């Protein structure tokens, strides 16, 4: 007799894996079905250029995972299954066209001194923000880690009110609604200090003038200084491999090359999934879909609730990203040698440039000067490349999923197959301006276009690495739809998880963990 798993999970991204681990730890039998050839979704690592050079496919920064509720509870067991981190005290920096740079390190005095090099007033502000961060962080992380249902929101609101008072609570709400530019202009005077922090908004679809984005530059700056950054030892897939082993140790299974084509339901209740070969896999308690909102409608044939289905069908995505993986025989020759110590170096010289880049990508244009995030993981973890060699992880932000034209008027191609190389060269030209001679040190190169990201992981619609805009209308209790931010759907026993569900993108495994705890009660 075939024993049905308690939960069948569509997709094996890190939220699915975290959800499955927690369910399995509470005695549930779980089975995951992933359409790709390996688990992990956007969190995987491979030799995409040359043998011995290990590149993170998309996600590289594991700080959110290391600090997550999931990891804090499961750390000992995950370590037993091979999870290992590579921390750094030099998380990020920005370099500017005039050769100056500003880096955030977890030495508070050093970072403050660097800020003072741009503005004495800003250094004083930085010190005040640093001193106040523990108090502010408690409230902000409580919001970002809370379940988005009425009971949890009411409890959180009451606790916040008791801690901060009426005025303080309203100040927090106001801050959470501010754009990066609004907060930065009110807080700092120097444009380069502002640009250094604003660059983090571009990681999460928050251009400088988008409401709701101020919290991310603030948190990344303060948390980066307080805690540094965490990468995965040997690659970001250390979390993926450890979670798969944890699932298998409890009798669960992760099936790859297993495309799901439908969700079976009867009388408003989901009871299984259909694979591409026609196999029906039934579940005793739950069908969990880590898919994009549009895919949820397709797999169900309709969710049976007009408000929910409309939200799924009209769900909005952020612009895409191009990845460029480089095998190197040396690090970039930055304008300042100290930049070779940082995990990330941003090339985003001003808020105006970031705003222009974002609008161009939203309009379907290849930006004339995309934001470049240069990841230098071998600075933190030399094991990712042969001795004396390096890998570079370049994120090119933003890029349109569908190309309508070129803002610079140079690239005529409107399909990614032909536009990839010239647009990648534009990005490498920018890197070359900040670090002359970098091209001469490239041993191997692999370009990943937005459509390649989506083909590998259909949740990354148009190459959107955050699986949907985090703008206020589609965040908090509205992610992915009002009334369904807790992972429930209108179909009984069918649940939704992944970056499209609150608390959204990043490697913190928030939606998977919150859903698992909801299902088992703790």
The radius of gyration of the chain from alpha carbons, rounded to an integer in Å, stands at 22
Euclidean distance between CA atoms 443 and 438, whole angstroms: 11
- Its pTM stands at 0.95
**Average pLDDT, stretch 270-292?**
97
| pLDDT computed for residue 403 by the predictor | 98
**Taking the CA of residue 481 as centre, how many other CA atoms within 13 Å lie in the half-sphere pointing to its CB?**
22
Interval 87-133: pLDDT, tens: 999 999 999 999 999 999 999 999 999 999 999 999 999 999 999 99
Interval 353-386: pLDDT, tens: 999 999 999 999 999 999 999 999 999 999 999 9
Interval 400-412: pLDDT, tens: 999 999 999 999 9
Interval 443-474: pLDDT, tens: 999 999 999 999 999 999 999 999 999 999 99
The three state secondary structure string of 165-202 is HHHHHHHHHHHHHCCHHHHHHHHCCCHHHHHHHHHHHH
**What integer best gives the mean pLDDT of the chain?**
95
| pLDDT computed for residue 150 by the predictor | 65
| pLDDT computed for residue 153 by the predictor | 67
Interval 290-346: pLDDT, tens: 999 999 999 999 999 999 999 999 999 999 999 999 999 999 999 899 999 999 999
Q: How confident is the model at residue 1 (pLDDT cuts 50, 70, 90)?
A: very low
Euclidean distance between CA atoms 360 and 368, whole angstroms: 8
**Residues 295-298: contacts with CB within 8 Å, 24+ apart?**
295/458, 295/459, 296/489, 296/496
| pLDDT computed for residue 474 by the predictor | 95
Q: Give the least confident one: 39-43, 146-150, 181-185.
A: 146-150
Q: Is the pLDDT of residue 491 over 70?
A: yes
Q: Is the pLDDT of residue 426 over 60?
A: yes
Interval 70-87: pLDDT, tens: 999 999 999 999 999 999
How many residues are there in the chain? 522
Per DSSP bridges, beta strands 442-448 and 405-406 are unpaired
Euclidean distance between CA atoms 387 and 397, whole angstroms: 30
**Average pLDDT, stretch 468-492?**
95
Interval 122-166: pLDDT, tens: 999 999 999 999 988 877 777 777 777 767 666 666 566 666 677
Q: How confident is the model at residue 495 (pLDDT cuts 50, 70, 90)?
A: very high
**Domains of the chain, start order:** 7-43+57-83+235-315+465-520 (3.50.50.60)
Beta bridge partners of 229: 88
Taking CA atoms, 165 is separated from 138, 156, 358, 373, in Å, by 15, 13, 37, 40
Work out the percent of the chain whose per-residue pLDDT is above 70. 97
Residues with Cβ within 8 Å of 102's Cβ and at least 6 positions away in sequence, in order, are: 93, 94, 114, 115, 117, 118, 192, 193, 196
| pLDDT computed for residue 156 by the predictor | 60
């Amino acid at each position: 007799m075939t024993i049905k798993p308690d939960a069948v999970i569509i997709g094996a991204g890190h939220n699915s894996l975290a959800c499955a681990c927690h369910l399995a730890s509470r005695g549930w039998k779980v089975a995951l079905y992933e359409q790709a050839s390996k688990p992990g979704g956007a969190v995987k690592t491979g030799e995409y250029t040359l043998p011995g050079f290990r590149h993170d496919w998309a996600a590289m920064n594991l700080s959110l995972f290391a600090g997550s509720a999931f990891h804090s509870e499961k750390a000992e067991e995950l370590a037993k299954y091979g999870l290992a981190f590579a921390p750094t005290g030099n998380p990020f920096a920005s370099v500017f066209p005039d050769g100056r740079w500003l880096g955030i390190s977890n030495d508070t005095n050093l970072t403050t001194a660097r800020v003072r090099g741009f503005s004495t007033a800003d250094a004083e502000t930085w010190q005040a923000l640093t001193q106040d961060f523990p108090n502010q962080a408690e409230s902000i992380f409580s919001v970002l880690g809370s379940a988005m249902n009425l009971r949890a929101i009411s409890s959180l609101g009451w606790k916040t009110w008791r801690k901060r008072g009426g005025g303080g609570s309203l100040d927090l709400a106001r801050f959470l609604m501010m754009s990066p530019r609004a907060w930065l202009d009110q807080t700092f005077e120097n444009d380069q200090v502002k640009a250094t922090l604003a660059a983090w908004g571009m990681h999460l679809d928050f251009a400088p003038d988008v409401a709701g984005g101020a919290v991310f530059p603030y948190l990344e700056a303060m948390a980066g200084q307080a805690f540094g950054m965490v990468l995965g030892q040997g690659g970001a897939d250390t979390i993926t491999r450890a979670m798969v082993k944890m699932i298998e140790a409890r009798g669960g299974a992760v099936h790859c090359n297993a495309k799901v084509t439908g969700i079976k339901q009867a009388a408003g209740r989901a009871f299984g999934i259909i694979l591409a070969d026609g196999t029906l896999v039934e579940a005793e308690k739950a069908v969990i879909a880590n898919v994009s909102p549009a895919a949820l409608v397709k797999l169900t044939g309709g969710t049976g609730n007009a408000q929910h289905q409309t939200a799924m069908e009209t769900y909005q995505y952020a612009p895409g990203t191009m990845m460029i993986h480089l095998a190197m025989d040396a690090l970039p020759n930055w304008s300042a040698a100290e930049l070779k110590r940082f995990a990330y170096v941003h090339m985003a010289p001003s808020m105006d440039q970031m705003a222009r880049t974002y609008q161009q990508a939203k309009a379907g244009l290849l930006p004339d000067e995309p934001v470049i995030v240069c990841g230098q993981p071998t600075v933190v973890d030399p094991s990712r490349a042969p001795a004396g060699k390096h890998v570079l992880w370049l994120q090119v932000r933003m890029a349109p999923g569908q190309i309508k034209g070129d803002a610079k008027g140079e690239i005529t191609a409107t399909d990614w197959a032909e536009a990839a190389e010239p647009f990648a060269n534009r990005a490498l030209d920018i890197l070359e301006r900040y670090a002359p001679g970098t091209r001469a040190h490239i041993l191997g190169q692999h370009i990943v276009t937005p459509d390649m990201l989506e083909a590998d992981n259909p949740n990354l619609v148009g190459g959107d690495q955050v699986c949907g805009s985090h703008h206020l209308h589609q965040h908090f209790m509205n992610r992915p739809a009002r009334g369904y931010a807790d992972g429930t759907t209108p179909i009984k026993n069918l649940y939704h998880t992944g970056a499209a569900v609150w608390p959204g993108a990043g490697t913190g495994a928030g939606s998977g963990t919150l859903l698992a705890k909801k299902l088992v009660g703790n």
